[in-house]
Amino acid sequence: MSIKVEGLTYSYGHQNVLDSVEIQLQRKSFTGIIGPNGCGKSTLLKCIYRVLKPQIGTIWLEDKLLNSYSVKESSKYISVMAQHNSYQFDFKVKDIVMMGRAPHKRLLERDTLKDYQIVEKALESVNMLEFSEREFATLSGGEQQRVLLARALAQDARTLILDEPTNHLDITYQLQLMRILKKQDITIFAAMHDLNIAAMYCDYLYIMKAGRVIAQGETQKILTPERIFEVYQVESQIVQDRNGKLHILFTGDQLK
Ligand SMILES: Nc1ncnc2c1ncn2[C@@H]1O[C@H](COP(=O)(O)OP(=O)(O)OP(=O)(O)O)[C@@H](O)[C@H]1O
C-alpha cells in the first residue's frame, strides 16, 4: 500500500470539511478523486501532502505513519503538483525543475550530473526542453503547468499527488499530460474536475460529496449516470468507445 488514509476528519474553524474519509491507494495505480466544487478534494490532498494537519484520523505512507517521517524524508516518497495559479517565480525553467531534486540533497550540496540528466529527461517528457533557459514567469499558464509537472517528476518519488493537473491546458495538452502520467511507473492520486478525462485515464475513482466518500472502486464499475446525478445533479449517458474507454455525454443542462 502506498498511502492509506483512515477516518480522516478535518475542519476549518467550525466548518467540517472532511468527515471520516478512508482512502487506500494501490501501488502503481492511477486513482482519481472527483466531486463538486468545495466537497473537500484539495483539503484531503493537503492533509496527505502535509500542508494541513488532520484533527482526527491517521495517514500511512509505505506502512509507516506519515507524521513519523520528517517533511524532507516524506518528500522522497510523495511529490506534489498543487493547484496552479500563475506564478511569478524569478527563475529559469531549468532551475524550477531542479528544485524537484532538493529532497535528495544535503544542505548546499551541489547539483550532480545525474541531477542534470533527470531534469533534462523530465523537461523532455513534458515537451518543454527547448524552454529550459526561459524565465518561468514569462511562460503561458499551460506551459507553466507542464514545467511544474516536470519538477514533480524530477523529484523521482513513488507517489505523485496532483490537484487538478489539467487546469489551464488546452485539449491537446490535457490529453498529452494524462498520457505522460499514465506512462509513469508510479502511484498517482489526482483530484480531477473533468469527468471525461477522469473516466478515460483513472483505473480507480473516489467520488466525494460534502466531505464524504460516497463511492469508490474501479472507474468502469462505479462511474454511472445515477452517481453523476447524485453528486452533480446533471443527467448523463455513459458510452464506451472501441478501445473500451468510457465517455460521458451530458444529456441535459437541467439543474434540478
Ligand atoms: N483555508 C481555508 N479556510 C476556510 N475554509 C476553507 C479553506 N480552504 C478551503 N475552505 C473551504 O473548505 C471547503 C472545501 O474546500 P476544498 O478546496 O477542499 O474543496 P475542493 O473539493 O477542492 O473544491 P474545488 O473543486 O472548488 O477546488 C470549501 O467550502 C472551502 O470554502
Residues 162 and 111 in one domain: no
Contact 216, 205 (CB under 8 A): yes
What atom of ligand 1 comes closest to residue 44's alpha carbon? Answer: 18
User: Does 161 share its domain with 67?
Assistant: yes
Ligand 1: centre distance to CA 15 (Å): 10
pLDDT digits (tens, 9 = 90+) for 19-66: 999 999 999 999 999 999 999 999 999 999 999 999 999 999 998 999
- Domain contains 83: no
Closest CA to 250 of 193, 170, 196: 196
Q: Is residue 66 located within the same domain as residue 92?
A: no
Ligand 1 centre distance from Cα of residue 42 (Å): 7
Summarised one tens digit per residue, pLDDT across range 109-129 is 888 899 999 999 999 999 999
pLDDT lower than 70: segments of the chain: 84-88, 253-256
Q: Are residues 47 and 108 in the same domain?
A: no
| pLDDT score at 63 | 86
**Domain range for 105:** 88-156
Residue 251, in any domain of the structure: no
Same domain assignment for residues 95 and 208: no
The DSSP code for 50 is T
Whether 207 maps to a domain, the answer reads yes
- Which of 132, 156, 180 terminates a domain? The answer is 156
Residue 163 and residue 39 in one domain: yes
225-242 burial: b if 16+ Cβ within 10 Å, else e: bebbeebbebbbebeeee
User: What would the grid cell of residue 138 be?
Assistant: 514569462
Q: How many domains does the chain have?
A: 2
Residues 43 and 92 in one domain: no
Q: Residues 46, 51, 57, 61: what is their CA dihedral angle, to the nearest 10 degrees?
A: 80
Q: What is the pLDDT of residue 86?
A: 59
- DSSP secondary structure letter of residue 135: B
Ligand 1 atom nearest the C-alpha of 13 is: 4
Phi–psi pair at 201, nearest 5 degrees: -115, -20
What is the Å distance from ligand 1's center to 44 Cα? 10
Supply the Cα-derived Rg of the chain in whole angstroms: 19
**In terms of domains, do 186 and 65 share one?**
yes
- Nearest CA, atom 23, ligand 1: 38
pLDDT value at residue 4: 96
* 212 burial via Cβ count (<10 Å: 0-12, 13-18, 19+): middle
C-alpha 182 – ligand 1 centre gap (Å): 27
pTM of the predicted protein model: 0.92
Same domain membership, residue 3 and residue 98: no
Give the residue, by CA position, lying nearest to ligand 1 atom 28: 38
Asked which of 156, 177, 210 is the last residue of a domain, the reply is: 156
Looking at the structure, tell me whether residues 22 and 46 fall in a common domain.
Answer: yes
Residue 254's pLDDT is 54
The atom of ligand 1 lying closest to the CA of 191 is 22
Please report whether residue 231 resides in a domain.
Answer: no
Q: Backbone phi, then psi, for 80, in 5-degree steps? A: -135, 135
Instruction: State in Å: Cα 183 to ligand 1 middle.
Output: 31
Residue 230 domain flag: no
> ipTM of the predicted structure?
0.98
Same domain, yes or no, for 147 and 176? no
Q: Residue 84's pLDDT is what?
A: 67
Q: Ligand 1: residues whose CB is within 6 Å?
A: 12, 15, 17, 35, 37-43
| Residue 52 sits in the same domain as residue 27 | yes
Residue 95 belongs to a domain? yes
pLDDT at 149: 93
